[in-house]
A and B are shown apart, each in its own frame.
Chain A
Amino acid sequence: MLLTDEEKRMQAGDYGPGIQRAMDLLVKLGDSFDAERLVPISYGHISYDFCPEKFWDLMTEGVGKTRHRVTTHPSYSPELWKEWGLLLADQWAGEHERKLKRYKELGWLRTETCAEYLLGIVPRKGDIVSMGGSCMQVANNSLFGARVDRMGILVSLAAAVCGRTPLMGLLLPENRYASHMVELDDLDVSDWTLSHYHCLGYYIGDQVPGFKPVVVNGLPANLPFDFARALVISMPTSGSVTLAHVVGTTPEAPTLEAALGGKKPEHLIRVGKREMTQTWERLNVWDNDRVEHVVFGCPHATIDEIGRVAALVEGKTIKTSLLIGASAPVEALARRQGWAECIEKAGGHFLPVCPSITNPFTRRDIAGDNQAKSAATDSARSAHYLATVSGVKVFFGTEEECINAAITGTWKGEIPKWK
C-alpha cells in the first residue's frame, strides 16, 4: 500500500505505540484487500464497551486528542443495572469506567448510540466514515449515501485513532452498484408494520453471499424512514449486506437502472408469502407462551416509536421487564413529552445500551439468577442476537403483539396473514 510521509511516520512509531499498532492493523487489512492507499475519514465511530480492554489499551496508548470527530456506540450502565436487581452488574463496572475515562480524555463524543442520525450526526452523500456497528454502517451507506465500508469493532478503533481508513470495498464508487436484485412476488405491503420490514430484510440478508450490494425493487416510493431503516438494518444480521438500495427511496437508487449502474443484476432474489412465513417462523424460537422480557429499540428507538409504546402502556402495569434501547438525547425528548415517565410508571426502563447483544435483562452474565429466560421483540436483529448471544427463547412479532405480551406476560402473536 502507498503511504504518505506522515503515514510512514505513524507506522514507524513517531506518534507513539497506539497509533503505530493501529496503522499496522489498517495496513495489513488494506493489503489483504489490495487497497492502494489510506484515505482521511470525515469522522469515526467506535465502541469502547464492546472493545476488549487489552485491545483498547494497546490501540489508545500514547494517543492525544484527535483533530477529527469520533463518536461511540451504545454503552453500558452498570450502576443502573445494579439498581434494577441485575445481580452481576458490579462485575461490569470497573472495565467500563476505565475505558470511559480514557474515551473522555481523547475528547471523543459520548453519543452512545447505534442511530446517530437521530442526533443530527448525519453524513452527507459521499462522506467517508469509518465505523463499527453493522447496523449504522448499512444505514449510513444506504439511507444517506455515505461511503462506509464493512468493518469490525476493533478495526474501527484503529481507523478512529489514525483518522484514516483503507481505500477499499464500498468506498469505491464502482463497488456500490447492486449485483443482487430483490423482487417482491405476491406481497401487498399496504398493511405492513416495522416488524414486516425487519422480517423481509432478515430474509434478504440470508440470501446474499458476502457483502454484495443489493437493490430492493417493487416497494412503494418514498418509503417512510423507519420502514426503510428496518429493512436495511436487518440484512447484516443474517448476512453481511452493508449497502442496500431501495428503489425510489434511497439516494443512490432514484431508479432501478441507477442502482444497478446500467448493468443486469447477477442474481435475482424473489420474495413471496412463503419466504416471509418461513422467516417469521425462523425468528420465533420458543416452546411455551410465557414471556419474561420485552425489548424495543434495535436499532435505537426513534421518538415516534417511544411515543407509540407510551400510548399503548399508558395507565397499565406490565408483567414482564421492559427495555427500550435509546440514546440519551432521544430519551430526553421523550421525557419532555411525558412519554418516558409514562413508560417508567408502567414498569419500563430506558438504556443507551445495545438491547440485543448486551441486553442486561437476558444476559446471564449480567442478570445472574434474575435472568429473563424469554424475550419478545419486533426487531429481527434483536430476535437473532437474543437467541444466539443470550441464549434465551425469543418471540418475534409486531409492536402491538409485544406490548400485549408485556401487559399479559403471555405471547399471543400470530404469523401475519399475507395479502
Chain B
Amino acid sequence: MTKKFIGQRIIRNEDPKLLTGQAQFVDDVEIPGMLHAAFLRSDYAHARLVSIDVSAARQRPGVVAVFTAEDMGADWQPGPPLVSPPPTAKDVIFYSRRQVPLVKDKVRHAGEAIAVVIAESRYIAEDAVEDIVVDLEQLEAVVDLEKAMQAGSPLVHDDLDSNLAAHLFQKKGDYEDAKSKADLVIKRRIVIDRGAASAMENRGIVADWDAKSQHLTIWDTTQAPIPIRNGTAARLGLSEHQVRVIAPFIGGGFGPKMMMFYAEELVIPWASKKLKRPVKWIEDRRENFYATTQERGQIHVVEIAFTKDGHILGLKDVFLHDTGAYDPYGLTIPLNTQCHAMGGYDVKNFSTEVSVVFTNKTLVTPVRGAGRPQGIFIIERLLDIASKELGIDRIEIRKRNLIPPDAFPYEHHIIDQAFAPLILDTGNYWPVMAKALEMIGYDEFVKNEQPRLRKEGKYVGIGIAPFIESTGVGPYEGARVTVEASGKISVATGIGTQGQGHFTAFAQIVAEQVGVAVKDVRIVTGDTTEFHWGTGTFASRGAVVAGNAMHAASSIVRKKILELASKVLETPVDELELDDGMVRVADIPTKSISLGELAVLANPLRGAVQPGTEPGLEATAYFGPQYGATAFGTHAMILEVDPETMMIKIRKYVTVEDCGTVLNPLILEGQIHGGVSMGVGNAYYEQLHFDENGQLLNASFADYLIPSATEMPRIDVGHIETRSSLNELGTKGVGEAGTIPVPALFAQALENALYDRELEILKMPLSPNGLFELLNKEKSQ
C-alpha cells in the first residue's frame, strides 16, 4: 500500500480551535455552584508543624470549608508509588516516601501545602488563607546533595537513618580491568543543577461530585488521566466507572503533569465529594515554582579509559541524584542517566552507581529529557576532553566509537527505566552525524570561516553533539476506531494530549488505513469515559505506543469495511479499492458504496443478526512494545560569544533526527523546535537557585529566564529514517530529542568559541554570569 498520509506535512487539525481560543482548557470549565480552592503553603523548606488555627479563616464570609490534614481523618494517605523499585536489579536499596495531601507533622519543602480553603471565589479563598495562624518551628534544611549524605546531616525523613533514598549499582564488563590497559584515564566532577519545566499553562483541577448520580467528574491537567481515574476511585472507595477523568487541551506537559497525585489531586476531588459541590483549583505561577515537580540536579564523579587511538575502553560513573522531598517516581530518572551515559558508543566496560538523595526541595520527577541530558552531557564532555588530550579531532574520536550499524540490536547488559534489559533496537549513527556536519557546513566553517572571523576578533565556535534517546516504553496503549453513519471516523485512546499534534498525527495513521481524509478523523484523547485502558503521555511514547495501537485498530476496521463491502458489492475483497470514503470495485468505478452506508448496514436490523455478529465497523486494539525503541540524532551549532559580557548569539543551529518512520514532518519539527528551546534554557538561561535554607530565590519569570523568540535561532531539521524493528509502523519517539543533547552541545561550542581562554565546562546550566565567573575563576587559579 502506498503511504498516502503517513509522512505527509499536514497542517494540524487542532490548530483552528487552539488559535481562535475555542479549545477547552481546565480553567474554562465553569459549573453552576462551583467553589474555588486556595492552599496555605509553607514558607519554610523544613519545619515542624507545631499548631494550626483555622478558626478565623472558617469565619470569613464566603468561606465554605477549611481543611487540614487532621480534618481528612483516615482519608489522609500519601500518594501512591508510581514506579516501584526495579525488581530485576541486585542489591537495590529503595526507601519509598511519597508526597502527602496536606502536611501533618513536618514540612519537607518550601511550598508544601498545609491547609486548603474552599470558598465562593478564589479571592475570598486567598484572603482566608491569610487568616490561618500556623506555628511552624523551623528546622535546619537539607539542600546540598553532598552535605545531605554526610553523617550528622539533618534528616528529611526522621524515620530513616540518612537522607539516602535509593542506591543502585549496575555494571557491564569489568571497568577496573579495562582501566589497567588504558593509555589515558580522565576523571572529572560534573555538576548539573535544577530547572523548571515552565509549561505555559500551570496545573489545575476541577472536581465535581454529583451526589444524586453518585458520580465524580474530574477535569485535570494531567498527562495520565487513566491512572488518575483508577487511583482516585481507589482512594475514595468508588468504582472506576463512577469516576470520569478528562484531560482536555493542556498547555504543555513536559513531564511534571505526569506526576499523578500531587497534593492538589489528592485534596480537590476529596473536598468535592465531602462538600457535594464542584471545586476548582488553578495553580498560579508562583505556586508552580514551588509545588510542581522539577528535575536535573545531579553530581557525577566520572572516569573514562581510552586507548591512545581514542577508543573507549571503559566508563565509570558514581553519582548523586536529587529527588527532592519525596520519591514517588522511583528510579526512572537515574536509570535513564545510567542508560544514556554511554551515548551511542560501543562501550564494553561500564560501571555506574547512583545514590538518590532526599533534600528539602520540591519533588523531582521526569522533565522532558528525564535524566537523559545528564547522561549525554557526561559522555560528550569526556569525549571532548579526550579529543584535546589525545590530539584526535572531535568528530573523528566520536566516529571511532559509534556503535556500528551491523551491531544492532545492541544489548548493553544493564537494565533500563522499564527494568528491561537495555537493548538499542536499531540504529545507523554515522549517517545522521555526517548529515548534521554537512548541514552546518562544518568543513567550510572550520577551514575558512572560523579563522577569518577569529582574525576579525570574533569569538565564534562550533559544536556537534550526537545522542540517543530511549523512547516508546510500555506497558501498552489502546485505541478504538469507529466508522460512523456520517462516513466520518471516530477514534478514542487513553492517553492525554498536551500539544503534541495527536489530533493530526493519529488521524493520519487512521486515515491511511480506512481511506478517508485526515480531517474526517475525529480523535478523542484523555477522556476515561471514551477509553477505559491505558497509561499516559510520557517518555516520548505517544506516537510509538498509542500510534501503533491506532494502526492496529484501524487495520482491523479496514478489514471489516472491505469484508462487508465485498458482500454488498458481490465482489471479492482483493478487487476492491478503499479511498476517499468510498469502497469501489477496481475495474468498475461506478460500482461503489460509501463508508457511511456501510456503517449503517453494519448495525444490523432485527432478524439480520447471525451468531457471532458484532455490530458496527469498529475495532479496539492494543499495542505494547517488547521494550523501548531507541531514537537518535545529532545537533550542531555555531555560536558567537561576546568576550566582555558573555552574551551569546546562535548563528546557526541544525538537528538531524532519526526517529524511525516520520508520521508528519511538520509536527516533528515543531517538537524539535520546542525541545531545542528547552535545551537552550537548560544550557544557558534556566537555573533554579536555592539558598542554603532551601528558599527558592528566583521564583518568577522576572528572575527565572526562559529563552524567548529573541534568543532562539532558526532551527533547520533534517530527517533520516531507520525504522524501528519493534512495531509495525516502524516509529520511535521524538518528544524529548530536541532537549537532550543541547547542554553538551553548548559546552563544546562555548569552549570552541573561547579558544584562547583556559576553559573546561563541567557544569550546567551556565549563564552569561556563570560563564564569566567560570572564566575568572580559571584565570585566578
A binds B: no
